[in-house]
Amino acid sequence: MKAYLYIIILVLAVACTPHNNPNRPAQQVDSVYTTADFRAYEDFYNSGHQVYAIDLLSDGLEYDSAWHIFGTGCNLYLSDVFVAKDSTERLPAGRYEMDSVAKEMTFLRGMSFEGNVTGTYVLVITEDQIQRILLMTGGYMTIAYEADDVVLDFHLYDEDSTHYHATYTGPAIYR
């Protein structure tokens, strides 16, 4: 009898949970990023691709000397951006699609494994504390270069299919 009660409670909880509500207001997160950190990981997965990470901070967030983030704002992070194996100097200009596998000109969707997030996600941070994590599960980004600046334009969707548009224009510092 106890097992049936747990099953009924579980079914009711799942049935009452809203899914993909396109009419709900957009998440209030920053969309203009002012600081960028690009990291090159070579062929990290032995997939035949160069792998890059992009770490973007909005106004109010900074890196300390150990590259830890502090302050209040948003952090847009892409852990795995895949490009041609010979793209060793910088990310090539063009359109990148979000995907769940390593293919040229793609980046991984946001995923959570036992409480650890990876792929593409936004951290909403207040006074050095993560308040919310938004996993991005669809979308694309474009990369362009203007003089010494890189121009990133993101059109992403979270788990509830809410559109998130973000931009960064500034130096591309690789490490």
Give yes or no for a contact between 102 and 43, defined as CB atoms under 8 angstroms apart: no
Give yes or no for a contact between 79 and 118, defined as CB atoms under 8 angstroms apart: yes
Q: How many CB atoms lie within 10 A of CB 78?
A: 24
Q: Which two three-digit tokens encode residue 85?
A: 């194996």
Q: What was the pLDDT predicted at 6?
A: 36
Q: How many CB atoms lie within 10 A of CB 14?
A: 9
CA angle at 127 for the pair 57 and 172, rounded to the nearest 5°: 10
Lowest-confidence range among 16-25, 50-59, 71-80, 162-171?
16-25
Phi, psi of 56 (to 5 degrees): -120, 140
pTM of the model: 0.82
Phi, psi of 27 (to 5 degrees): -60, 135
**Span 141-167, mean pLDDT?**
96
156 Rama class: left (phi>0) / alpha (psi -120 to 50) / beta: beta
Lowest-confidence range among 11-15, 78-82, 140-144?
11-15
Q: What was the pLDDT predicted at 173?
A: 83
Residue ranges of E strands in the chain: 32-40, 49-58, 61-63, 69-71, 73-84, 94-99, 106-108, 111-113, 116-118, 120-126, 129-146, 149-158, 163-171
Closest residue by Cα to residue 96 from 88, 112, 86, 84: 84
* pLDDT digit string, tens, across residues 8-67: 333 334 344 444 444 444 437 899 999 999 999 999 999 999 999 999 999 999 999 999
* pLDDT digit string, tens, across residues 86-137: 998 899 999 999 999 999 999 999 999 888 999 999 999 999 999 999 999 9
If you search the block for the tokens 């990290």, which residue do you land on? 44
